[in-house]
Structures are given as structure tokens and as C-alpha cells.
Amino acid sequence: MSRYPPIPPSSLTTEQYKAYDEASDICSSVFGDKFLYKNEDGAFIGPFAPLLFTPTLVDPFFKLVVELGKLPGLPGPAREISILATGSRFKAKYELYAHERVAASTSLTAAQIDSVKSGKKPFGDDALDEQGNVAFDVAMELSHKQGPMTDANWKRAEHAFGKEGAAALIHYVGVYAYTCVLLNGVDAPVPPGERY
């Protein structure tokens, strides 16, 4: 059970309801039906439930998510590899649950997704392409190691994605590290009956 349980829409304050309403529209357009972000009562779950306890952060959080999605240069599979690899570091159940499903809508295979979310680089028949390898290595380095990213991984990222795409990759790792810390801090579970 989350430390910040879902709040039914009928119990939201005026400020919370305004944030809920705006966030609902964004979740629907960004995530669609790839994963559950509301329970059967219509209350937010995952990272969205605790955000309603700090409603002034809802708008900036979702603006960041939307703008992040607009950054050029990082293909969908590489984006999801970076998110799942970051999630593997933090073991945030809900993040792994949600982005396993988003990753499944890309060209990544189930075996590749399972490996990455376990913190292991796929190999053999399931090996990632070069962009996937770079996204995995950069995400693992940034989420596991203190200090600057190595020049070798920076050069690989810049070569694979260009400066804009490399910046997007770094942003994704940072934003999802934050999201994982939020999820772990509130002990956000996966939806009932779902696995991660």
C-alpha cells in the first residue's frame, strides 16, 4: 500500500481537482491505455497519487514530461531502454511495470525488455542495436556511478544520437531517476493483479 493512497476524485480539494483534471488529460494523451495510472474509482495511482498531495508540483511535473517527450534525436526504443535501465537501478516497481508496457509498443522484444529491466544488457540473439547499447550503457553509468559520465560514453552518445539526442538521453535518465526516488519514497505498488 502506498504511503500516499489514491484520493477519489470526489474527495479532492479544489486545488487538487484542478491539478487532477489537467493531469488526466495529459496522461490520456501521452500514455493512452498502455498502463494503468488510475484505479477503478478514477483516483490516480503510481507517481501521480503523491503528486496530488503537493498540487503545485503537478503542473510543472507534467510540463516536464510533455516537453521531454518532444525532445528530438532519441528514438523510442532507446528512450525506453534508458528508462528501464534507470528503473533497474532503483527497483521502483511501478516505474518498471509502466515502462515495460510502453517499451512493448516499440520494436524491443519481450526478452530485451526483461533483460534491461533486470539491469542486464541483452546479448546473443536478443542483443540490442548500437543505439540501444549506448542508451543502456549511459543510463547504467549515470544511475550507478558518482561523478561525471566518462568521455567514452559521452562520445558514444553524441555519435549515436547527436548533441540534441545525447542531451535527451541524459534528461530521460535524470527525470526517471527522480521519478523512481519519488515512487520508492512513497512505496507505490503496481496495480492489483499486475506484475512488473
Specify the pLDDT at position 35: 97
Specify the pLDDT at position 104: 98
Specify the pLDDT at position 47: 94
Which candidate, 87, 78, 99, places its Cα nearest to that of 194?
99
Domain ranges for the chain: 9-69, 72-186
Specify the pLDDT at position 1: 75
Q: How far apart are CA 192 and CA 38, in angstroms?
A: 11
Quote the cell numbers at residue 155: 562520445
Gyration radius of the chain's alpha carbons = 17
Given the candidates 1.10.3470, 1.20.1290, 3.40.50, 3.30.1490, the CATH classification of the domain at 72-186 is 1.20.1290
pLDDT tens per residue across span 144-165: 999 999 999 999 999 999 999 9
Taking the complete model, does pTM exceed 0.75, yes or no?
yes
- Given a cut of 50, the residues of the chain with pLDDT beneath it are none
